[in-house]
Amino acid sequence: MVLYLIPFAVILAADQLTKLLVAGRLAVGESVPAVRGLFDITYVQNQGAAFGLLQGKKLLLIVITLAVFAFLIIYALRRDTSSRWLMWGLTLVCSGGLGNLIDRVALGYVRDFIDLSFIRFPVFNIADCAVTVGAVMMALYIMVEEHRRSEEDFFDGDPE
C-alpha cells in the first residue's frame, strides 16, 4: 500500500503546480492556445462541482468530498488490496479529490484550465482527470470482481 504514496504525491504535486502556474500567469477567463486543434489553457475559477453543478455550495462540496474519502478508505480496508486495478483507482481518485479539496478549502473555488478546443466541454484540471480515470478503473474492478464472485457462488452453491 505504501508503494502508492509516491504516485499519489506526484499527481497531487502536478495538479497543484499546474494550477499555481496558470493562476500566476493568466487572468480569470484569459485563454492561450496550447496544442492547436486539441486544447487551450483557459483559466477558470469553478465554485461548483463537475459541469458547474452545485455552484456556490462550498461547504456541501467539502462534506461530500470528505464522505467519499471515508467511504473509499473503508472500502479499501475491506477489499483485496493486492488488486492493482483497485489500488490505482483509489490512488487516482484520492489524489485528484485531495487536489480539488485543497483549492476549495484554501481559495473557495477550484482552479480549472484544460479547455478542449475540438469539442464543447467544461474546462477541467489534472485532479479532475485523475478522479475520472480512477473512478472508471474502480468501476471496472467492481464489475469484474462481482462477476467473478457470482460465478463462484453459482458453482459453489449446494444443489437441492
User: Out of 15, 103, 112, 115, which one is annotated catalytic?
Assistant: 112
Task: Mark whether 115 is an active-site residue.
Answer: no
Q: Which residue has the cell 474492478?
A: 141
pLDDT value, residue 43: 98
Strand order in the sheet with 39-46: 31-35, 39-46, 110-116
What parts of the chain have a pLDDT lower than 50?
Answer: none
Backbone angles phi, psi at 54, to 5 degrees: 55, 40
**Per-residue pLDDT, 157:** 58
Q: Each residue of 76-115: pLDDT tens digit?
A: 888 777 788 889 999 999 999 999 999 999 999 999 999 9
pTM attached to this predicted model:
0.86
What's the pLDDT score for residue 64? 93
The catalytically annotated residue of 40, 128, 153, 158 is 128
**In degrees to the nearest 10, what's the CA dihedral of 115, 117, 119, 124?**
-10
Residue 65 near residue 93 (C-beta atoms within 8 A):
no
CA–CA gap between residue 25 and residue 31 (Å, rounded): 11
Comparing CA positions, the residue from 141, 32, 31, 39 lying closest to residue 80 is 141
Q: What is the pLDDT of residue 33?
A: 94
Residues 69 and 64: their CA atoms lie apart, in Å, by 9
> Looking at residue 154, what is its pLDDT?
59
**Residue 50 DSSP symbol:** G
Please give the DSSP secondary-structure letter assigned to residue 31.
E
Active site residue 112: yes
Take residue 137 and report the three cell numbers written for it: 478503473
Whole-angstrom CA distances from 54 to 58, 61, 120, 132 are 8, 8, 20, 18
